[in-house]
Amino acid sequence: EEAVQRLLKDFYIVRISWVFGVNGKNFIKTMLRLSEEREEISVVSDQIGSPTYTKDLAETLVALMESGRFGIYHATNEGICSWAEFAAETMRLAGKSTRIKEISTSEYKTAAKRPLNSRLSKSSLDKAGIPRLPHWKDALGRYLKELSKTA
């Protein structure tokens, strides 16, 4: 980001988090796969953020470029949740009976340290007149429908 800002006068820097889409691996696909193998999945409940659906992000990126309003933006779906809430809503919408067991970050051993708070302010989108992305629950529902068509 710093190099882009130093070298270019006009640029878009778009920060995103918790990305999911049809292509590639993601948290939702992992949860759905694990739901086929387990009755209960342990998921951290003390890390919060806003998921980002690639389809919604693409529409926002197009709107940004068409606006010509260069700058730094945060673009995630509306609303916040923990990973455990995200997993539970995934199970509910997918009609799965798998239980989500809430655990703390300290109970979940991983090589990469994860931030407890990944929320991003979308005020820069507001100032540029760019519509905010839909709520993450709406995005998740649309994504699961799209995913079922490609399966």
- The ranges assigned to domains in the chain are 2-150
Considering only CA atoms, which of 24, 121, 113, 26 is closest in space to residue 72?
121
Q: For 69-103, b where at least 16 C-beta lie within 10 A, e where not — what string?
A: beeebbbbbbebbbbbbbbbbbbeebebebebebb
The model's pLDDT over 4-52, given as tens digits with 9 standing for 90+, comes to 999 999 999 999 999 999 999 999 999 999 999 999 999 999 999 999 9
Architecture of the domain spanning 2-150 = 3-Layer(aba) Sandwich (3.40)
E strands, 9-98, in order: 12-15, 19-20, 40-44, 48-49, 52-53, 71-74, 77-78, 81-82
Please state whether beta strands 81-82 and 48-49 pair in parallel, antiparallel, or not at all (unpaired).
antiparallel
Asked if residue 116 has pLDDT above 80, the reply is: no
At 150, the pLDDT band (50, 70, 90 cuts) reads confident
Nearest to 57 by CA among 23, 86, 20: 20
> Is 70 exceeded by the pLDDT of residue 111?
no
Banded model confidence at residue 151, pLDDT cuts 50, 70, 90? low
Please give the helix or strand (H or E) that residue 133 lies within, else none. Answer: strand 133-135
The residue with greater pLDDT, 55 or 116, is 55
| Inter-CA distances, 107 with 6, 59, 122, Å | 41, 37, 31
Indicate whether 115 pLDDT > 80.
Answer: no
pTM: 0.91
DSSP code of residue 23: S
